[in-house]
Chains A and B, each alone.
Chain A
Amino acid sequence: MNVNEYLSKGKNEVKEIIKEAREINKKYNYFNYIDEDATGGKGKLSNLPVSVKDCICVKDMESRAGSLILKGYKPVFDATVISRLRKEGVAIIGKTSQDEFGFGSFSTNTDNIPKNPIDVERSTGGSSGGSGGFTAITKYTHVSIAESTGGSIACPAGFCGVAGFTPTYGVVSRYGLIDYANSLDKIGVMAKKVNEIKPVFDIIRGYDEKDSTSLKLDLNKDEKIKKIGVIKETLNVDEKIKDAVLSKLKDYEEVSLPLVEKYGVTAYYIIALSEASTNLAKYSGLRYGESLDLKGNYNEYFSDVRSKFFSTESKRRIILGTFARMAGYRDAYYLKAMKVRNLIIQEYKKAFKKYDVLISPTMPIIAPKFSEISKLTPLENYMMDIMTVGPNLAGLPHLSVNAGFIGKMPVGLMVIGNHLDDNKVLKFGEKIE
């Protein structure tokens, strides 16, 4: 049942969906934690079952961002999105599995790897893999609160065949989000259908004094679509993916965004990893999460804890990010990447002068098999984000909607809008869905 219908009928299927989640989880690993006692309440979202990506803090509920180093960490506070949702009566049913701290495109960089709901040999995509998979598979009404840094909502939405919306940076408070990269992280919504997103998005968005980067501005009201641009460089993919995406569009023009194509991934990873490497410094086994017997001096102890409980991917990203921040390299890497980021924003802004929305495939491939993923080099892995890093770097609202299938596997179409055109993006997504 669609969220809108569920709410207007005053349904309550919280118990049922928890039972289902427990069963499904045995095979698919969508949850790091399920709250057996979750209940809803009264409000604009009465008794709506909501799953939450593990990296978003829920009071007294283990929130470990898919990481072993945070095992057992139960936040003493609710993230702002959670307290806003609770006020409107949702039931928080559990924490969904993800790549550790959001570090990945396939949700394989973690101890609890979610499997694609259509083919368990394949990935759900990442990093919000548990959210994407469960949203697709559940028989019940449900939305998931997910998070994107470089494409972590769009990617699993595309691979699992659901709708995944990432708002304009700053429209939804990040307070209570366990940081990956502060200047890039955005909390968003996943649902089976695009029109289920808005009722939840309208509750979680809006200025929050606890997040100094949250915007006081209102969303743009104009939702009219006059001109559609398809990003030329992103059509350089498998014909079937290209066809699926273009088949959804009637009138469109091709638009070239060469900077995004050429420098997007590089700039994204330098910025994201530089920020991530400082964000992860706090995990040192001192006050929360995993710890070890106290041995040696503090440097040795911190090193022991971090060596033992961070995954290989986290260590790789910490080392890369730290390197890019060092005195001799800062100008060459981080500061240059910030300049490139500005140029990329300008490139988008120019395109939005002409087009209302920009379209691309969500991912360059369909959901890959785990056996294929294990053969990828780290660099090949990072290149998977080529379509999604652009709007994420620029902080633009973007939505992945299902555009069809190749065999059984879904293909995602990505709608990108100008800053604060979030509603226009959702409206357009509804239309093509």
Chain B
Amino acid sequence: MKIGLEIHVELNSKSKIFCSCATQGSNVPNTRTCEICLGMPGSKPSFNREVLHKALKVALALGCKINKESFFSRKNYFYPDMTKNFQITQYELPLAENGKFEGINIRRIHMEEDPGALIHFGSITLIDYNRSGMPLIEIVTEPDFKTPKEARTFLNKLITLLEYLNVYVREEETTLKADANISLEGGERVEIKNVTGLREIERCLEYEAKRQEIELATFKETRGWDAEKGVTYSLRKKESENDYGYLTECDLPMLELSDTLLNEIKKEIPELPNQKIKNFIDKYKLNKDDAEVIASDLKLAELFEQISHKIDAKIAANYLRRDLLGQLEYNKLQVKDLKIGEHGVKDIGVMLNLYQKNKINNNILKTLTIRLIKEGKIGEIKEQVSDDSQLKKWCKEAIENNKSVVEDYKKGNENSLNFLVGYVMKLSNKSANPQKVREILKEMI
């Protein structure tokens, strides 16, 4: 099985690719538009250098050869979401070619504009041009994937890389689209157009692989993906490539890239995920699993690095993976929702120090973590009660109020002791040191 991807990535530049309309802001339809992204007669595109900058970062990080000269072309076809009935894209000479990432060969990377969005209401279709002119790069891989799973893993790593480069925001899954092609040994190549989201890309490839196993593809075909039904369906058989009558976009001059610019951009490329993982293992002595999980998110990785200045790296990693990520998931939040400032980082250090010295228990840790997620800092930390006389008071009360349980324990039921410890914890409003409580209870009984 051979699988290749054409991945469309929306770059997070401030303005659109050929005009100064904002890429973020109001989602009221057709409010972030101007004469240029609406393709009004007489308007002309101006290329946004920030898009070039970001696209080059990706190309360099993916180890591509950069074309010092490239240009834009018009891809001509009629469709209602197109403002000009041609899309400005790169065709003959893309920005970059021949890269490699995670063992997969990258054929080319080019820049282009997104069309508007069609919104269907029953029999009526409306057009929202807010998306028109949004900056995209298309990353085309060679058909190097051997399974749908591999393709998904690759996409996940690619997204992490894009986030490290600060060129892409993982908002909803919908911002990543791909065309996937798949062929089985001895069969023809089938392309599945416009699949949205990592999960869907894997699903559609799995479906298509099974479909072709049953009936080998005997002709080249373009298919669509029905996510609801979970099936692909034929769009057209293609004898040859679609003829888009490509023409040079004469409103935009040739893109000429200087070595100075490329060197500048190279310097901006931060430590990338794989390097981070290696560092976490070599320098911070994390195990591979922890290192990979923490490096999979730039924000988390940076938080880890900051905390590790203040506390043992393994404790930090353990806290982030188990407690912080756990609480985030429980509250249906993501790492990007965290707003932890300098204070917060300091607080985490203090908290973990206390935890390490057994001055706060798991319950307190949990409460504090929730506060951290909500407020971005922890503030005052109330240590757990380890004072014997106070603990003895609570234990005495527990024993007196649960005589039958105490009897059970005496008969050898170990669980009864757990119940009593829990009772004390409740009495203490979760502030008691549970190990000590256990010891005292044993002693007293």
- Report A's interface with B, CB cutoff 8 A: 56-57, 63, 65, 70, 73, 75-77, 79, 174-179, 181-183, 209-213, 274-275, 277-278, 281-284, 286-288, 298-299, 302, 322, 325-327, 330, 334
Known contacts A212-B252, A213-B253; decide if A281 and B84 are in contact (CB<8 Å): yes
Q: Give every chain A residue within 8 A of B86 (Cβ-Cβ).
A: 278, 281
Which listed segment binds A: B73-81, B149-157, B314-322? B73-81
Q: Do B44 and A211 have beta carbons less than 8 Å apart?
A: yes
| Nearest opposing residue in chain A for B36, CB measure | A210
Q: Residue B85 contacts which of A63, A73, A282 (CB distance < 8 angstroms)?
A: A282
Q: Do B76 and A288 have beta carbons less than 8 Å apart?
A: no
B419 contacts A by Cβ under 8 Å: no
Q: Do A326 and B84 have beta carbons less than 8 Å apart?
A: no
| Nearest opposing residue in chain A for B74, CB measure | A278
User: Measured between C-beta atoms, what is the minimum distance from A283 to chain B in Å?
Assistant: 8
Q: Do A286 and B80 have beta carbons less than 8 Å apart?
A: yes
Q: Do B40 and A278 have beta carbons less than 8 Å apart?
A: no
| Nearest opposing residue in chain A for B84, CB measure | A282
Interface set, chain B 381-408, CB cutoff 8 A to A: none
Q: Do A183 and B250 have beta carbons less than 8 Å apart?
A: yes
Q: Do A302 and B78 have beta carbons less than 8 Å apart?
A: yes
Q: Do A275 and B78 have beta carbons less than 8 Å apart?
A: no
Q: Which 10 A-B pairs have the closest CB atoms?
A: A281-B85, A325-B245, A182-B250, A183-B250, A57-B42, A176-B42, A178-B41, A282-B84, A327-B243, A298-B80
User: Measured between C-beta atoms, what is the minimum distance from A173 to chain B in Å?
Assistant: 9
Q: Residue B41 contacts which of A63, A211, A284 (CB distance < 8 angstroms)?
A: A63
| Nearest opposing residue in chain B for A303, CB measure | B78
User: Measured between C-beta atoms, what is the minimum distance from A4 to chain B in Å?
Assistant: 31
DSSP majority for the A interface? loop
Q: Do A282 and B241 have beta carbons less than 8 Å apart?
A: no
Q: Do A288 and B245 have beta carbons less than 8 Å apart?
A: no
* Bound CA–CA A65/B245 (angstroms): 25
B235 contacts A by Cβ under 8 Å: no
Known contacts A209-B46, A210-B46, A325-B245; decide if A282 and B250 are in contact (CB<8 Å): no
Q: Do A212 and B45 have beta carbons less than 8 Å apart?
A: yes
B247 contacts A by Cβ under 8 Å: yes
Digitize B71-100: 1 where CB-to-A-CB distance is under 8 Å, 0 elsewhere.
000101011100111100000000000000
Known contacts A281-B84, A282-B83, A298-B78; decide if A65 and B41 are in contact (CB<8 Å): yes
User: Measured between C-beta atoms, what is the minimum distance from A419 to chain B in Å?
Assistant: 16
Q: Give every chain A residue within 8 A of B187 (Cβ-Cβ).
A: none
B63 contacts A by Cβ under 8 Å: no
Known contacts A282-B41, A288-B40, A334-B247; decide if A212 and B78 are in contact (CB<8 Å): no
Q: Do B251 and A182 have beta carbons less than 8 Å apart?
A: yes
Q: Do A212 and B41 have beta carbons less than 8 Å apart?
A: no
Other A-B pairs, 17, CB within 8 Å; known A63-B41, A283-B41: A75-B35, A75-B42, A77-B42, A77-B43, A176-B42, A176-B43, A177-B42, A182-B250, A183-B250, A211-B251, A212-B46, A212-B252, A274-B247, A281-B85, A327-B241, A327-B243, A327-B245
* Bound CA–CA A177/B46 (angstroms): 15
Q: Give every chain B residue within 8 A of A299 (Cβ-Cβ).
A: 78
* Bound CA–CA A211/B36 (angstroms): 12
Q: Give every chain A residue within 8 A of B35 (Cβ-Cβ).
A: 75-77
User: Measured between C-beta atoms, what is the minimum distance from A160 to chain B in Å?
Assistant: 26
B246 contacts A by Cβ under 8 Å: yes
B379 contacts A by Cβ under 8 Å: no
| Nearest opposing residue in chain B for A299, CB measure | B78
User: Measured between C-beta atoms, what is the minimum distance from B43 to chain A in Å?
Assistant: 8
| Nearest opposing residue in chain A for B252, CB measure | A212
* Bound CA–CA A135/B38 (angstroms): 35
Q: Do B38 and A287 have beta carbons less than 8 Å apart?
A: yes
B326 contacts A by Cβ under 8 Å: no
* Bound CA–CA A179/B74 (angstroms): 14
Q: Residue B42 contacts which of A175, A278, A286, A302 (CB distance < 8 angstroms)?
A: A175
B284 contacts A by Cβ under 8 Å: no
DSSP majority for the B interface? loop
Q: Do A278 and B38 have beta carbons less than 8 Å apart?
A: no
* Bound CA–CA A298/B247 (angstroms): 24
Q: Give every chain B residue within 8 A of A327 (Cβ-Cβ).
A: 241, 243, 245
| Nearest opposing residue in chain A for B253, CB measure | A212
* Bound CA–CA A286/B45 (angstroms): 21
B143 contacts A by Cβ under 8 Å: no
* Bound CA–CA A56/B42 (angstroms): 7
B39 contacts A by Cβ under 8 Å: yes
Q: Do A212 and B76 have beta carbons less than 8 Å apart?
A: no
| Nearest opposing residue in chain B for A176, CB measure | B42
User: Measured between C-beta atoms, what is the minimum distance from A204 to chain B in Å?
Assistant: 15
Q: Give every chain B residue within 8 A of A213 (Cβ-Cβ).
A: 250-253
* Bound CA–CA A275/B45 (angstroms): 15
| Nearest opposing residue in chain A for B245, CB measure | A325
| Nearest opposing residue in chain B for A301, CB measure | B80
| Nearest opposing residue in chain A for B45, CB measure | A212
Q: Do A212 and B83 have beta carbons less than 8 Å apart?
A: no
Q: Do A284 and B78 have beta carbons less than 8 Å apart?
A: yes
User: Measured between C-beta atoms, what is the minimum distance from B427 to chain A in Å?
Assistant: 72
* Bound CA–CA A302/B42 (angstroms): 20
Q: Do B39 and A282 have beta carbons less than 8 Å apart?
A: yes
* Bound CA–CA A65/B78 (angstroms): 22
Q: Do B44 and A325 have beta carbons less than 8 Å apart?
A: no
User: Measured between C-beta atoms, what is the minimum distance from B20 to chain A in Å?
Assistant: 10
User: Measured between C-beta atoms, what is the minimum distance from B18 to chain A in Å?
Assistant: 9
Q: Give every chain A residue within 8 A of B252 (Cβ-Cβ).
A: 212-213
* Bound CA–CA A286/B79 (angstroms): 11
Q: Give every chain A residue within 8 A of B253 (Cβ-Cβ).
A: 212-213
| Nearest opposing residue in chain B for A78, CB measure | B42
23 pairs of residues in contact across A and B, judged by CB atoms under 8 Å: A57-B41, A75-B41, A75-B42, A76-B35, A77-B35, A77-B42, A175-B44, A183-B250, A209-B46, A210-B44, A212-B44, A213-B253, A274-B247, A277-B245, A281-B78, A282-B83, A283-B41, A284-B85, A288-B41, A302-B78, A322-B245, A326-B243, A327-B245
Q: Residue B44 contacts which of A174, A275, A298 (CB distance < 8 angstroms)?
A: A174
Q: Give every chain B residue within 8 A of A298 (Cβ-Cβ).
A: 78-80
B47 contacts A by Cβ under 8 Å: yes
Residue of B39, B79, B247, B252 ringed by the most chain A CB atoms within 10 A? B247
| Nearest opposing residue in chain A for B47, CB measure | A212
Q: Give every chain A residue within 8 A of B44 (Cβ-Cβ).
A: 174-175, 210-212
| Nearest opposing residue in chain A for B75, CB measure | A278
Q: Do A275 and B41 have beta carbons less than 8 Å apart?
A: no
Digitize B32-59: 1 where CB-to-A-CB distance is under 8 Å, 0 elsewhere.
0001001111111111000000000000
* Bound CA–CA A177/B40 (angstroms): 11
* Bound CA–CA A326/B47 (angstroms): 27
* Bound CA–CA A274/B248 (angstroms): 10
Q: Give every chain B residue within 8 A of A283 (Cβ-Cβ).
A: 41
User: Measured between C-beta atoms, what is the minimum distance from B29 to chain A in Å?
Assistant: 14
* Bound CA–CA A330/B241 (angstroms): 15
| Nearest opposing residue in chain B for A283, CB measure | B41
Q: Give every chain A residue within 8 A of B40 (Cβ-Cβ).
A: 75-77, 288
* Bound CA–CA A432/B85 (angstroms): 47
Q: Residue B245 contacts which of A79, A183, A278, A282 (CB distance < 8 angstroms)?
A: A278
Q: Give every chain B residue within 8 A of A288 (Cβ-Cβ).
A: 40-41
* Bound CA–CA A330/B92 (angstroms): 12
Q: Give every chain A residue within 8 A of B39 (Cβ-Cβ).
A: 282
* Bound CA–CA A79/B74 (angstroms): 23
User: Measured between C-beta atoms, what is the minimum distance from B218 to chain A in Å?
Assistant: 25
* Bound CA–CA A290/B347 (angstroms): 66
User: Measured between C-beta atoms, what is the minimum distance from A337 to chain B in Å?
Assistant: 12
Q: Give every chain B residue within 8 A of A209 (Cβ-Cβ).
A: 46
User: Measured between C-beta atoms, what is the minimum distance from A300 to chain B in Å?
Assistant: 11
Q: Give every chain B residue within 8 A of A281 (Cβ-Cβ).
A: 76, 78, 84-86
Interface set, chain B 245-289, CB cutoff 8 A to A: 245-248, 250-253
